[in-house]
Structure formats: structure tokens, C-alpha cells
Amino acid sequence: MNKEKIRVSVRDSFWFLPALYGVLSILSVSVTSVLDFWIVPQVKESLPKFFLTEKSVAQTLYGSLITSILTMTTISFSTIMVVLTTYTTQFSPRTLQDFMKSRVTQHVLGVYSFGFIFALINLLLLGSDQSGLVTPTLTVIVSIICLAFFIIFIHHSSRFVQVNNLIGQIRKSTSTVIERTFEQKNYNEAVEWDQEEINRLKQSDLNEVKADQSGYLQGIQFKPFIEWAKNQNIIMEANFNIGDYVQKGMPIFYYWHFDKEKEINPEECVQYILIGNERTDIQDIEFSIQKLVEISVKAISPGINDPHTAVNCINRIGSLLAELAAVYQPLKYYSDDEENLRLIMEPRTLQDYLYKSFYQIRIYGYHDISVMNGVLEALYKISVVNDKAVKDEVWRFGKYMMNAIDTDELDDLDQKYYKKQARKLAAACDQPI
């Protein structure tokens, strides 16, 4: 695993920020100990008396604060378990990532770690011959900060457990993934390439690189991967999409090697891809949308029966697909800084995103006309803000969704509103109905 993969793995780990705060706490104890042992005795007479604390008071204070901070930490962990249980049973197991990776959650636990370690080590270092201490005053300030973060965490948890706020958070993070995927990069991307060169490649000897582990393909580091391929003078073709599950031993890359005199180690390319036990939203737009799909499908299940939440999710999915359609490019070819082809990677099509966004809703929600009308409304909004090519794709998919509705079983009023929505979609797509 290269340094970038280690950095990303550590940064996204739940324990990273609390551990960082713990280290900072130890450093802070060192600084405050220097104050108490060397600096305070020299300037004690010039310091205000309320800054200084006797050893007996400090000992009692440390013990009380350690207990208090530990209690807040316990309550916070209990709150986390309640939130996680709610997410699993009512929303989707995939949404657990959003709460656990929330920086607010991690910073709060980090501050608790800081306060607990700070008070505990200071209690341990408390000597027998100290008559004036600054550290207890600083510990009180740290405890007040811990209390403030406890209140912030309770507010954060209560908001996060509300389904509308959760949907809004997922929608916002997915917009960021879409923007990051199609923004200007510091490497070369292309939709098309010289077809003669591609045909010559297909006629050359093809080699393969096999996966060294099973798991979900979470991301690929394009720039260092392209630089590695340039140094090796090879062209790689990916046999996966971001988010696919790969089996150990299956070919994940095919490659063409042109410098026969140079020895290469094609397995080195595996260090530039990230394979894990679960899908993540680092580069996976489809997975981000899938979270909203799962919330909507669970909302229309007989056990929950909450079609308004389902329609809310469908509205956000439609908004994300509209954003995606506006910037979408089928980027397939990646070249180095000398415009030499280095990587071929088949992209997901816009039709793929449409299908994966709504096909499960079609299966489980076709009997609920409010849900299906919500899908048609979302498709209408996608088409009305995009160009002719997108309109054609949306209309093709819209017919697929409408074929699931048995209009003969609809009541007159249901048929009226359904046909109104269908005509609106057809008009936006410039199609007859």
C-alpha cells in the first residue's frame, strides 16, 4: 500500500481524530507541567490568586472532572448506538457511514479524549510539595469546552436522526462527489481517441493483472497510476467500474507492453487502487445515490409505509441526476502529459445512473401511484433543465417506468393525475404521448 492509500485510510478511520486529540492532550500536559514546575514558582507573586490552586483542591477537582468527562463520553456512545440502530432499522445500513464519518461526531469524541487524558495524567503527576498550581484552572476550562461539545453532540445527533436532515446531508455530499468527478483535473481525460490506435492495440498481445484480494473497488488514484504506466511504457485497460465487487484472482487490468527489453512488474499497479470490505462514496456516485434509493424503498415497505419520505428521496435523486446530466461526460481515455494513451476505463452511462436510481423503486413502488408520480415528476425536472440528448434518454427511461403502471386498475382521479404527469414529461422531452 502506497503512502497516499495509507493517508486516505487513516484519515477516514473513526479512531484517527480521537487518537490525534489524545496525542495533543499528552503534549498539553507536558506544557502545563513545565508551567507548574518551573515557570509558576518564579512568577507566583505577580499572578492573580484565582489562577493558583492548592494541591488538595486540585486533587478533588481532577477526580470529579475525570468522572464527569467519562460520564459524558458514556452518554455520547449510548447516543451513537441509538442513532446507529435507528439508521439500520428505519433507513439503510449504508447510511451508517455518514454518521460515523461525520467530523462533528469524531471531533466531539476527540475533545472528550483530550479532556479525560488531560485530567487523568495531571492527577497522576500531582506532587506532594506543590502549593500553587495553574493546571487545575486550565483543566476547568477544558471541562467547560467538553460540556459545550456535549451539547453540540446532542443537537447534532437529534438532527442527524431526522430523516429529512439525513436525506439533505446525503444529497449535499453526493453533489460534492459529482462536482469532484467531472471537474478539471491535473491529468488528461478524453471521451474519444484515435480509433486506428485502438484497433492496433486490440490486435496486439494482451496480458492481464489479477486482483490480489476480494472486495469492493472503492477508488483509483488516476494521476500516480498514469505516471506509473508512463514510466513502465505500457497501456492499461481496466476491467471494472468504481464500486464493482472484485474477486481475488480475477483479471482487473489488461495491458499492452511495448518495450520488450525492459522488465516490468505489472502487479505494482494494484497499489494505486483501493479495495475494501464495503463501498464508499469517495469516487462512487452510484453508491451515494443508492443510499437515497434504499431509504425510499424501505419507506414504501408495508412495515414502515411512509410514501412521503419516499417521494422526498425521489425528489433529491432527481435533483442529483439533473446535476449529473448537466456535467456528465463519458470519460474513457486517460493520457500522460505527453498525450500518450495510458489507461482505458469504460465509464458508466447516463442510462446506467437512471436505471440504478429508479429500478428498485419501480419494482417495489409500482402499486403506489403517489410514488410513481413522484418518479415522473423527477424525470420531468431532469429533462426540463437539460439538452436534447438528455431529454431522449429520460424519455426512453420514462416509458420504462410508465410500463410498470397498470392504468386499468387506477381510479378515475388517480388516472387523471397520472396522465397529467405523463403529458408534462412528454412535453418536456419533446415527445408525443
Residue 92 CB coordination number (10 Å): 21
* pLDDT tens string 337-389: 888 899 999 999 999 999 999 999 999 988 889 999 999 999 999 999 998 99
Residue % of the chain over a pLDDT of 90: 25
Distance between CA 314 and CA 358 in Å, rounded? 8
DSSP reduced 3-state for 32: helix
With 50 as the cut, is the pLDDT of residue 65 above it?
yes
Q: In this predicted structure, what is the pLDDT of residue 43? A: 58
Quick check: 207 and 257 in contact, CB under 8 A? yes
Q: In this predicted structure, what is the pLDDT of residue 41? A: 59
CA distances from 193 to 1, 65, 261 (A): 32, 66, 27
DSSP reduced 3-state for 257: strand
More confident residue, 54 or 106: 106
Nearest alpha-carbon partner for 98 in 108, 106, 109: 106
More confident residue, 48 or 62: 62
Strand-pairing partners, residue 53, are: 133
Q: In this predicted structure, what is the pLDDT of residue 1? A: 47
Name the band, by pLDDT with cuts 50, 70 and 90, for residue 98: low
- Listing DSSP states for 329-396 in one string gives ----EEE-TTS-EEEE-PPPPHHHHHHHHHHHHHHHHTT-HHHHHHHHHHHHHHHHTS-HHHHHHHHH
With 90 as the cut, is the pLDDT of residue 83 above it?
no
Out of 49-53, 106-110, 202-206, 217-221, least confident range = 49-53
